[in-house]
């Protein structure tokens, strides 16, 4: 989905609030939220793609205003309700207030047809298509051409795995793009490497 979570290249942001050796956690509840979502994953209540999509499905205003661990918490609460572990009513009674949950998911999809096996050096083009479910293709590479650097052995296909749709595991390809191709006249010069699932790629002609 073309959600606000797809931040790569979006403008209007300011200086990085960088301090060397910065902390990971600020408050005690953040450590707990992080531990509890990990526990749910280990119990098989949801997988990492479902977890990430639970964050992406947050109301965009909430996403932009929430801290990192509030996003964790929102996905965790959403998935516990969606998976039937708890009702929203029970959760809100326990929390003594409104518990924001993410919007329902669009349907998933299985692996795409006409997948090709690419070799290092092959020129590939990211398919120019739009999918409303979970997808690990940042919008800034859509329709763009890059060069395969290596193949990485198979992973679950996110567009299926986040939605409970059966699919084969797929290779991903480390594809190098020139920043000048991604953002003509609008980027610092660099090679940008993106891990791209086989279903998202065509051979460049």
Partner 1 sequence: MDDQRIAPTRTASVEQRTDAIQAVMEARGMQPGAAIDSAYQLAEEEWVPLNGGRIVAKAWTDPAFRQRLLANGKAAAAELGLSMPPHHRHLVALENTADLQNVIVCTLCSCTAFTIIGLPPEWYKDLDYRARAVRQSRTVLKEMGLDLPASTEIRVWDTTTDTRYMVIPTQPPETIGWPEDKLAAIVTKDAMIGVARLPGT
Q: Which does 81 bind (CB under 5 to 8 A by kind): a copy of itself, partner 1, none?
A: partner 1
| Alpha-carbon 188 to chain mean position | 24
Q: Give the closest residue to 155 by CA, choosing from 174, 139, 177.
A: 174
The 117-136 contact track toward partner 1, x by CB under 8 A, reads: -------------------x
**Which member of 120, 143, 164, 186 binds partner 1 (CB under 8 A)?**
186
Q: List the Cα angle 131/81/71 in 5-degree steps.
A: 65
Q: What is the DSSP string of 112-132?
A: PSS-----TT-EEEE-----S
CB nearer to a copy of itself: pick between 29 and 130: 130
Element (H, E) at 150: strand 145-155
Among the residue ranges 6-14, 105-113, 118-126, the one whose residues contact partner 1 (CB under 8 A): 6-14
Question: Looking only at residues 103 through 122 of this chain, which bind a copy of itself when binding is defined by CB under 8 A?
Answer: 103
Q: Give the closest residue to 135 by CA, choosing from 175, 154, 163.
A: 163
**Which member of 81, 126, 147, 160 binds partner 1 (CB under 8 A)?**
81
| Tokens found for residue 107 | 């349907």
Q: Which does 151 bind (CB under 5 to 8 A by kind): a copy of itself, partner 1, none?
A: none
Q: Are 27 and 33 in contact (CB under 8 A)?
A: no
Binding footprint of a copy of itself on the chain (CB under 8 A):
1-5, 9-14, 56-61, 63-65, 103, 128-132, 143, 183-187
């Amino acid at each position: 989905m073309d959600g606000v979570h797809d931040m790569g290249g979006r403008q209007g942001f300011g200086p990085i609030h960088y301090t060397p050796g910065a902390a990971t956690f600020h408050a005690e509840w953040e450590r707990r939220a992080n531990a509890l979502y990990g526990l749910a994953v280990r119990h098989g209540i949801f997988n990492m793609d479902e977890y990430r999509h639970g964050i992406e499905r947050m109301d965009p205003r909430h996403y932009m205003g929430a801290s990192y661990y509030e996003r964790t918490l929102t996905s965790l609460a959403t998935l516990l309700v969606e998976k039937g572990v708890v009702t929203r009513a029970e959760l809100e009674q326990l929390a003594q207030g409104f518990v924001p949950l993410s919007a329902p998911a669009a349907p998933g999809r299985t692996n795409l047809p006409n997948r090709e096996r690419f070799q290092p050096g092959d020129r590939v083009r990211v398919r120019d298509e739009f999918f409303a479910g979970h997808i690990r293709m940042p919008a800034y590479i859509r329709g763009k051409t890059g060069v395969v650097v290596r193949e990485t052995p198979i992973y679950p296909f996110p567009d299926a795995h986040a939605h409970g749709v059966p699919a084969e595991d797929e290779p991903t390809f480390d594809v190098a793009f020139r920043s000048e191709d991604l953002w003509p006249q609008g980027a610092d010069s660099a090679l940008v490497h993106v891990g791209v699932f086989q279903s998202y790629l065509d051979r460049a002609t």
